[in-house]
Amino acid sequence: MKCSVCKKPAFVKVRYMKKSYCKEHFAQFIESKVKNTIEKFKLIDEDDKILVAVSGGKDSSALLYILSKLFNNVVAIHLDLGIGEFSRKSKEAVKELSKLCNVELKIYKLKDMVGFSIPEIKLERRCGACGLIKRYLLNKIAYEEGFNKIAVGHNLDDELSFIVNCLISGDIKQLSRIGPKTQTKGKLIGRIKPLYKCYESEMKLYCDAVGINYVKEICPFSKGAKQAVYKKALDLIEEKSPGSKLSFINSFIKKIKPLLPKEEVKLNECKECGFMTTSDVCSFCKLVKRIK
């Protein structure tokens, strides 16, 4: 198997492209895919100040690496969740990566910000709580430090499994909000997903191809069982018919999403913290009260 570009021994075969690439040309292929996604969906403007949320895992690590190659206006942020060895390894990986990318890194400790770490949450839905806390704090930091966009490492498989979940539960509201970006509204900073068209498997290969040291362990509290099943099902479809995942997201964005009812969400400021919410008190403030 030879690289379709330079004829050197290939590192990977990309079946849906019917092409093989060496490490160098695979990296180029992924980088141009991300660049095209950013251009097509107008995710980044020249005067944007972008905060890249980096966990230390493969997706966000690859995202920081690629964005730092393409733009000068990126700063990395890492939330130390206080999950023992897992958080220690994650923090080390992110420090190493930001040096490699020559990007400023901001590290925030959850314990310092809210008074508790993730293992101290004694709720059944700890994973959901963690996701909510991370989203809230990233937004708060971005707003207070003058960033106007938050880039997150959601990949194609994440997005598709979320779509499948919405379809199965009939959650039209959530479904209509799916897409590669959200707009900034008041104190709610817009989020962008530059890896929107990148397969999860490609992000792992990309990290290996360019030499990014990412954390391979998943969070010990992770309970993504349902999502993992959807991802497996999508893998099976992709296996039988390469390119299905890309077709799925393309037809969703182009043909299905425009048919969904567009509901303007009314946002107001939370009575407790002043950040945007749909009710009187935001779900973060409610959650923190329950935890404490």
Binding positions for Zn ion, rule: CB under 5 A: 3, 5-6, 22, 25, 270, 272-273, 282, 285
CB of 11 to Zn ion, least distance (A): 8
Residue 21 or residue 65: which is nearer to Zn ion going by CB? 21
| Residue 202: partners with Cβ closer than 8 Å, 6 or more residues away | 14, 30, 155
Distance of alpha carbon 256 from alpha carbon 260, whole angstroms: 7
Residue 96 or residue 208: which is nearer to Zn ion going by CB? 208
Residue 26 or residue 214: which is nearer to Zn ion going by CB? 26
Letter string b/e over residues 216-252, b meaning 16 or more CB atoms within 10 A of that residue's CB: eeebeeeeeeebeebbeebbeebeeeeebbbebbeeb
CB of 100 to Zn ion, least distance (A): 22
User: At 163, is the secondary structure helix, strand, or coil?
Assistant: helix
Residue 6 or residue 168: which is nearer to Zn ion going by CB? 6
Residue 105 or residue 276: which is nearer to Zn ion going by CB? 276
CB of 6 to Zn ion, least distance (A): 3
Q: Does residue 181 contact residue 137 with C-beta atoms inside 8 Å?
A: no
CB of 283 to Zn ion, least distance (A): 8
In 10 A of CB 134, how many CB atoms?
17
CB of 103 to Zn ion, least distance (A): 27
Residue 5 or residue 246: which is nearer to Zn ion going by CB? 5
Helix%, strand%, coil% for the chain, nearest 5: 50, 15, 35
CB of 286 to Zn ion, least distance (A): 8
Distance of alpha carbon 211 from alpha carbon 96, whole angstroms: 12
- Beta strand 190-192 with 149-151: parallel, antiparallel or unpaired? parallel
